[in-house]
Structure 1
Amino acid sequence: MSDKQQSVTVHYGNQRIRMPVDLNETLGSFIEDLVRKADIHEKKIKLFYAGKRLKDNNTPLSKFGLKNHSKILCIKPQKQHLPERETGEKGAQSEEQNPAYSRILGEIQAIDEYISKDLTPIYNTYLHESFDDKQKKDKQKLMAYELLLQQLLKLDGVDVMGSEKLRTKRKGLVAKIQKMLDDVDEISKKHSI
């Protein structure tokens, strides 16, 4: 199979972008092509493959273990907004009575509830069970990582419509997920998974 026929699929938000790829090209070159093809307006993006973040822009894609038809997750960083001042108590009350506010708050709470009820047991199992079966542990790690990254992507797609309260709730949940991802990474490094 020639390099021209090789491709990877990049998951970016709700887009699935099929990218022709030369596995000997560097990560930096691949990112430039991706940004151009997907019309991504972010200066920095994060790429993940098999639960690991792809970081070094000078490393060939093949060194990350990428193969033909690999799937890569692309996340744009959270935008930093300057806090908007509410105009007294009346402004805060009217914001919370807005149906869009309630819908967005519901989305954030649903993600938080899913993490607490469904993902936390998977996460705890990975962190606290023995490492006797390396293959099983590796599957647990990938499952925990993928499910957490999916929730991070969902949060990334939640538009808080300029609401400082919603932004703070979303930011707190992003930090919670990021800590869980960091813990999974730390355990896997300790046990070389």
Structure 2
Amino acid sequence: MKLTNYGAHIISLFLPDKNGKLEDVLLGYDSAEEYKNDTSYFGATVGRVANRIAGAQFTLNGTHYKLVPNEGKNMLHGGPKGFSKVVWKVKKYKPESNAPFIIFTYHSPDGEEGFPGNLHVAVGYTLIGDKLSITMKAKALNKATPVNLAQHAYWNLGGQNSGDILSEEIQIFASQYTPVDSQLIPTGKIESVKGTHTISLNQHH
């Protein structure tokens, strides 16, 4: 596994295929400059708020906040200087063990991209056997603030040179989902997955 403290990105993860050959199952770039200019968030830690905020503004506890838009009039993944575009500190790093891990931390100051309050964030990556564990924690230090962290990895389980992933299937254990509008903004509704034509509830692989 390869990572960087720029945006707390995960760059690559090599896993053995059925023949024992190691393949990189993550999409990523080859240079720091490409990550700096990236707009697809390959392997990035995104925040303060992952996904979109309509009109780049919100009201919290009676106070209205205007954010920095970066997708038309909306904010996407924390804005132009979201958590994926800043340098994180390495708090702990233990590469030589049965469960190697690293913990990145970042202090987001009050007013960054328009968000209220100081926020302390920690992201940890741990390899346990053939499993990757990712932990994310955030603590508001002096003001209430919205937080929705996410890891934005792009996976190709066949390896980078195996072609597209259109034949792959993913199973999500969920009974409800949040619909979006034409700008991919969540509508605020929570609906059942039953009856949706793209979702099967009883597949087994």
TM-score of the superposed pair, with normalisation by structure 2? 0.23
Q: Is the helix fraction higher in 1 or 2?
A: 1
Structure having the higher strand fraction is 2
With normalisation by structure 1, the TM-score equals 0.24
